[in-house]
Every structure is written in C-alpha cells, then in structure tokens.
Amino acid sequence: MTKTLTDTRPIRLKGRSFLAIVLSPELPFHNWLERLDDLAARSTGFFLGRPIVLDVEGLDITQADLKDLLGELGERGVRVMGIEGARGSLIGANMPPLMKGGRPAGDIEPESDPVAEPAAKGKPAEQAAKPEPAIEVHSPRVTSSIVITEPVRSGQSIIFPEGDVTILGSVASGAEIVAGGSIHVYGTLRGRALAGSIGNASARIFCRKLEAELLAIDGLYKMPDDMDPKHRGQAVTVWLEGDTIKAETLA
Amino acid sequence: MAKVIVVTSGKGGVGKTTSTAALGAALAQRGEKTVVVDFDVGLRNLDLVMGAERRVVYDLINVVQGDAKLPQALIRDKRLETLHLLPASQTRDKDNLTAEGVEAVIEELRKSFDWIICDSPAGIERGATLAMRHADVAVVVTNPEVSSVRDSDRIIGLLDAKTKKAENGERMDKHLLLTRYDPSRAERGDMLKVEDVLEILSIPLLGIIPESMDVLRASNLGAPVTLNDASCAPALAYRDAARRLAGEQVAMTIPGGRRGLMNKLFGRRAA
C-alpha cells in the first residue's frame, strides 16, 4: 500500500548538545544510594527534572542489578536519560539508551544489537539519519560562538556552554549570559555575566559600559559592591588571575 | 486595514487602562472605528474609566465561551459613535480565557474596526500573554522609575517571544509611552530622565505624558482624558501619541517642558 504525502516538507533533523549531569554510582549500591539520599536531603530538588546520565563504566554488575538501580533512582525522582559506559548486553528493553561520547550509540556498533531496540523505538528513520552530524557538534575541539543582535531583556537568559557569546546591544538588569568561553557586550552590561562556565579560567568578560549585577569567571564571582567603583560605567575587561577576578578599563 | 494594539507594561498602576481609554478616544475622534478591549478579567477597570460601568450586560468571557454574540457585548460610547468598548468579566478569572476563543474574538473584531486596542492586565501570566498574542503593535507603558522600566524590559522580551508575530518570525512593532513624567523632578534627579529610559529599553518613543491632576479627575468622572478636557496637557500628549500611531510625523514635545530642546533631543527618535 502506498501513502501519498500531502505535505512534502522534509523532517528537520538537527544535532544539538546539551549539558547533562553524569552520575557515577559505586558498588555496593545500597551504600552509594545512602550517600545520594544524604546529598538530596541537603539540596532538595537538585535532581528534580534534570537530565541525568548514569555512568556505569567499570562496574561489575548484571542487567538485574542495573534494573534495580534504575528503579531506586526512579523512586528518588532522578530521571535517567541515558547510560554511559555499559556493555550492550547490560541494557534491557525499556531502559534508557546507551550513550557514548554524548551521543546515542544505538546503531553505530552492530554487536550491541539489543541496545538499538530501545533507542530506536518508534523513530527508526531519525536514528538512522542522526549520528553523523552529531559527531561534529559534540566534539570538544570545535570552538564555536554565537552573536546576539538584539538587546537581551530582563528575564531572558542566553546559555551557551560551547563557546563565546557576543551581544550587539545591552544586557538588561535581571538578564543573564552564561558562556563556556568569553562574553562580549557591545552595550551596557546591567545583568549577570558568567563566563568560562564549564571550567575555563582563561575566559574573559568585555563590555562597553559596566553596570553588572554579577560577574563570574570559571565559577568565581564578584558582586557590584566588591567591584572597584572607578570601573562603574566604564568600558571594562574582566579576567581571572589565580583566584581573584581582575578588571581593567579599556582604552 | 485593522490594526490590533496591545497596551502593556508588566507592572501594575503605571497607566495602562488610562492610556488605553485616552488613545482609543483620540483615535476614534479622528473618525476611525475603534474598539477598546478589557483583558483584565476579574479586575476590570476600563468600563469605569470609559464611564460605561452601568451599561455592561455581556462581556468578553461570554463571547469567548459562546454565551453571547460579539455585537451584544459591544458597548457604543455615548459621546463618540466611532468608539466602542468590549468589557471584561468581573466575576470570572483569567483561566476562563482560552487561546482559541480570544483568537476568534480578535478575528471578528478585525472585520468591523480600524483599531482594536487591548488593555492588558498587569503581570506576565495568562491574561497578559493572551492580550498580547494577536497584536500587530505594542504600546509599552512605563513610568520614569527603575522598577517600572525593568518590568517593561521583561515585557518587551515576551513580546519578542510569545506573540503570534514572533512565532511567525516577524518583528512586533513596539513603542514606548512614558507616563506620569514630571520634567522638574527629572531635572532634579528624583526621576529617571527620558533619555535614560530610552537608553535602557531601546525602543522608539511614542509619547511623553506629563504627570497631571487632569488624568485622575477624568478617570473619576468616567471619561477618557482626551474627551474630558481636550485642551489639557495630558490630552494633547495622548492626541499626539495617537497621531504617531496612525503614522503621522509629529514632533516630540513635553507639554510644560522646554519645547525647543526636547525637539532637538527626541525629534529624530520619535516613532
């Protein structure tokens, strides 16, 4: 039977990278789960709704063990979207797909046939077409950048862990920019700027006029009260020297 | 062709309803068929400002839910026959507004009016997002103080993200209407200056409405300020703003301010 498509537009397939939290459980699991409960008790809702990747590399476990662990995590509200470092035979049906290098590895390695089923379920065409472009996107060697040509408004956040963010306009009070690399603002920076967010101490922040609510590089941050008043309202570059955030007026 | 305008601000109490009524009346005075629509379901005020509170039979919710036909709910103004009001419901809440219902009402209004002016509720929730959803043009009402400016900035972000125009990849026209402006207080530094607000929000200026007792007096009498006393300073400023909305070139002035200087400063930035 042939089906006639009335809408012939192609299905859009894109590679995209997301930042996920990787959990590495340790044996014995009951002991590790106790420590996880302790962590969850201290920071309520930390795992709630976040995509989690379970890294089981080097663990000598059976499929039943993994199933139990996933059940335990599920009860704790931890939503596992993928499993990393597992043998193909370890992953049964209805388990999250195997992930490798940050991309679904379902149909790359033929010997891991049982894996392909849950990963490809319902979307065989997408799975078949997807892996190639994904490799390029996930490669850490590629330095990328984005340019925002509009002012960033209050309440908006630009999150770009892959590299530099350039803004042609101002960043409003109550807006935030999170970049894996440097942040360039060709306007007034009134909101929050967090550069080098995934551990890049050489990242910098540049702005034409500094009125920021918070500046951070590689997790170290500075509030307006700690900033030198002489930099306020000036064109400034901000960088990290050891554990201190330095700033200098741009000529 | 019909134009849908949303009057919005994020923050409450900055003059959205007053501005909706004043701009609506000013546009209607030009002889163009105008309807002002109250989206503030549960806290309706536009009927009071328009002086039509005792004439409300059916409201927006009745029309959205199909209990009444649109012409039954529309109230024609007693002073201006080109001006109409579609009131909100006071006994319901904003959950009664549905996206499909609102779309159908706006589409029907487009057929018989030149201007459809939607008075948005404060906030960024359902009522506000539905009021802006089908707009062609946004009038962002802002007071010259920091919290109002930041809330307006937030609303501008939503106008570029959550409206039908934005979803179709088009640009929403946004205009700044600065209300309750007091030139002498701004001069003394007690208030943000016009250029500060423009610098932060970076959208074109539609008008500057001076702080005036005439505005409150008109509201209490149940008349849009542009109808109550057409020669007072805020009425003149609203009339100029309405002319700019209609596409006329009108030099920017602050009534009571220094005319020449203001022309120099803002003439080129005017919408």
Q: What amino acid is encoded at A194 in this protein?
A: L
Residues of B in contact with A150 (CB under 8 A): 160
- Regarding whether A106 and A156 lie in a shared domain, the answer is no
Q: Is A129 helix (H, G, I), strand (E, B) or coil?
A: helix
Mean pLDDT of chain A: 78
| CA neighbor of B7 nearest in space, from B98, B48, B15 | B15
Quote the pLDDT of residue B261: 52
Of A23-27, B9-13, B119-123, B154-158, the range with the lowest mean pLDDT is A23-27
A63-75 and A29-42 helices cross at what angle (nearest 10)?
20
**What pLDDT, in 10s, does the model give residues B205-233?**
999 999 999 999 999 999 999 999 989 99
pLDDT reported for residue A102: 54
A121 pLDDT band (50/70/90 cuts)? very low
Which residues in A197-225 are b (16+ Cβ under 10 Å) and which e? beebeebbbbbebbbbbebbbbeeebeee
Share of chain A above pLDDT 70, in %: 73
Contact A150 B200 (CB under 8 A): no
**Distance of residue B139 Cα from the nearest chain A Cα, in angstroms:** 17
Of the three residues A96, A128, A160, the one that is the final residue of a domain is A128
Our separate counts of H helices and E strands in chain A read 5, 16
Domain boundary pick from A81, A100, A128:
A128
pLDDT of B59 reads 94
**Is residue A174 located within the same domain as residue A245?**
yes
Does one domain contain both A25 and A123?
Answer: yes
Is residue A93 predicted with pLDDT exceeding 50?
yes
**Mean pLDDT score of chain B:** 91
Q: SS in 3 state form for A45-94?
A: CCCCCCCEEEECCCCCCCHHHHHHHHHHHHHCCCCEEEEECCCHHHCCCC
Higher pLDDT, B95 or B19: B19
The pair phi, psi for residue A102, each rounded to 5°, is 85, 0
The more confidently predicted of residues B24 and B254 is B24
Kindly state whether residue A7 falls inside one of the protein's structural domains.
no
Looking at the complex, does the CB of residue A114 fall below 8 Å from at least one CB of chain B?
Answer: no
Digit-coded pLDDT (tens) for A187-228: 999 999 999 988 889 999 999 999 999 999 988 889 988 889
The pLDDT of residue B40 is 95
Convert A99-118 to b/e letters by CB count within 10 Å (16 or more is b).
bbebbbbbbeeeebebbbeb
Last residue of a domain, one of A79, A102, A128: A128
Q: Which domain holds residue A175?
A: 145-249
Residue among A154, A167, A173, A208 with most chain B CBs within 10 A, to mutate:
A154
Percent of chain A beyond pLDDT 90?
34
* B21-25, B193-197, B261-265: which is most confident: B21-25
My answer on whether A25 and A124 are in the same domain is yes
User: What average pLDDT score do residues A19-46 get?
Assistant: 78
Instruction: Give the pLDDT band (50/70/90) at residue A120.
Output: very low
Residue that is written with structure tokens 């470092």 in the block: A85
The string of pLDDT tens digits covering residues B36-91 is 999 999 999 999 999 999 999 999 999 999 999 999 999 999 999 999 999 999 89
B180, pLDDT greater than 80: yes
In single-letter form, the type of residue at position B164 comes to K
Q: What is the pLDDT of residues B91-113, one digit of tens each?
A: 988 888 999 999 999 999 999 99
The answer to whether position A4 is within a domain reads no
Asked whether residue A157 falls in the same domain as residue A122, the answer is no
| Residue B171 DSSP code | P
Is residue A9 one of the residues assigned to a domain?
no
CATH code, A162: 2.160.20.70
**Pair (A160, A193) in one structural domain:** yes
Helical residues (DSSP H) of chain A, grouped into ranges: 29-42, 63-75, 113-120, 124-129, 131-138
Q: Specify whether A26 is located in the same domain as A124.
A: yes
Looking at the predicted structure, is the pLDDT value of residue A161 above 70? yes
Does A239 score more than 70 pLDDT?
A: yes
CB contact under 8 A, A155 and B154: yes
Would you say residue A15 has pLDDT above 80?
no
Read off the tokens for A64.
């039943």
pLDDT of residue A122: 41
Give yes or no for A154 touching B (CB within 8 A): yes
The closest alpha carbon to B44, from B1, B86, B105, belongs to B86
Tokens representing B2? 């019909």
pLDDT range class, residue B196, cuts 50, 70, 90: very high
User: Looking at the domain assignment, is residue A15 inside a domain?
Assistant: no
- What pLDDT score was predicted for residue A127? 40
Q: Could A172 and B200 be called an inter-chain contact, meaning their C-beta atoms sit closer than 8 Å?
A: yes
Contact B150 A151 (CB under 8 A): no
Q: What angle do CA B157, B162, B164 make, to 5 degrees?
A: 125
Q: Residue B13 above 80 pLDDT?
A: yes
Q: Give the confidence band of A106 by pLDDT, cuts at 50, 70, 90.
A: very low
Count: domains in chain A: 2
Residue A55: pLDDT band (50, 70, 90) is confident
Both tokens of residue A83?
């499993």
Name the burial class of residue A123, with classes exposed (0-12), middle (13-18) and buried (19+) by CB atoms within 10 angstroms of its CB. Answer: exposed
Q: How confident is the model at residue A115 (pLDDT cuts 50, 70, 90)?
A: very low
Residue A151: closest CA among B179, B5, B154: B154
Which residue would you say has higher pLDDT here, A137 or A101? A101
User: Distance between CA atoms of A197 and B10, rounded to whole angstroms?
Assistant: 31
Q: Does B154 touch chain A (CB under 8 A)?
A: yes
**Pair A27, A103 in one domain:** yes
Are A202 and A173 part of one and the same domain?
yes
Mean pLDDT of A139-167: 86
Q: Does one domain contain both A123 and A179?
A: no
Assess if residue A12 is contained within a domain.
no
Residue A163 lies in a domain: yes
Q: In this complex, do B160 and A173 lie within 8 Å of one another by their Cβ atoms?
A: no
Query: Which of B182, B242, B183 is CA-nearest to residue B213?
Result: B182
CATH (domain of A118): 3.30.70
Residue A6 resides in a domain: no
- Report the DSSP beta bridge partners of residue B75: B85
Residues A228 and A190 in one domain: yes
CA-to-CA distance for A143 and A179, rounded, in angstroms? Answer: 12
Please answer yes or no on whether B153 and A153 come within 8 Å at the CB atom: yes
Residue A159 lies in a domain: yes
Q: Between residues A5 and B74, which one has the greater pLDDT?
A: B74
Name A132's bridge partners.
none
Res A52: pLDDT: 82
- Tell the burial category of A140 from Cβ atoms under 10 Å away from its Cβ (0-12, 13-18, 19+): exposed
pLDDT of residue A1 exceeding 70: no
Claim to verify: residue A167 and residue A73 sit in the same structural domain: no
* Number of C-beta neighbours around residue B215 at 10 A: 24
What residues in A contact B202, CB-CB < 8 Å?
151, 169-170
* DSSP 8-state secondary structure symbol assigned to residue A247: E
What are the C-alpha distances in Å from A216 to residues A212, A213, B184, B231?
10, 10, 40, 54
pLDDT tens track for B132-165:
999 999 999 999 999 999 999 999 999 999 999 9
Cβ atoms within 10 Å of A47's Cβ, excluding its own: 20
Strand arrangement of the beta sheet that strand A21-23 belongs to: A21-23, A52-55, A80-84, A98-100, A103-104
